[in-house]
Amino acid sequence: MSLSFGARLRTVLDEHGPLCVGIDPHAALLDAWGLPQTAEGVRAFGLTVIEAAAGRVGMVKPQVSFFERFGSRGFAALEDVFTAARAAGLLVIADAKRGDIGTTMAGYAQAWLEPGAPLESDALTISPYLGGGSLAEAIARALPVGKGVFVLAATSNPEGAPLQTALVQHGRTDEPQETVALRVTRDVTALDPHDGALGSVGLVIGATIDRSRFALDDNTLRTVPLLAPGFGAQGATPDDLRLRFGTLAGNVLASESRSILSAGPDRIAATIDERAARYQEVMGG
């Protein structure tokens, strides 16, 4: 049986710290980098980020949409970026936010998480809003082959909060209500029977939110990997890591994209060094 994603992630977090570099080739960034608005442009962008990240951090998170907009050539470019990242020893989190039911969800798992697949990544972001149980097929396929998922739970976009903090009944009608975010958390983490160490079913929790509004306390999330967008350009700083996540800070993947990518191709490596060092300092490393 493959080493679990949670175990591999634990090693990466301990060795390299929490910084996860986003690969988001926005149109404006391609222009700023002097790259064409083509599949070749996003490929060159992605490979440059991989070269800068290798050995400096342990994780990258390509945003699939910026490749997908160029159709089949964009996906071919993404395959090259994934291959280069994995060859460089980086964990690859495909930010694709897939979500469906049954065999369709299984198809997404095969595309993104199956060993040897053209789009093979180490983990995939997925959406639970067809019900947490709808993700069971993807999770069942991911775990035995050492792959992971990150389930959207408490996102930083303002539109998400009214849904994710809404109260629902869990189980019997005489039981207390809980937030949708907590219900999602309970449903999906129950599908990951790990041994008490870091699990392979993670959550996406925005770095800028108030977790208490979503009823996601430290004890509930004790062994859950937390992918936390919102660091950098969205306002959270490395100093906020312990402030916002407390005892969970060691399980957090602090995702930064624009704050690093806007440095440009000539400064990106130095910027990654600077940001990674600051997170290491915050974590006491």
- The set of catalytic residues is 97
Rounded Cα–Cα distance for residues 89 and 8 (Å)? 11
Look up residue 223 and give its amino acid.
Answer: T
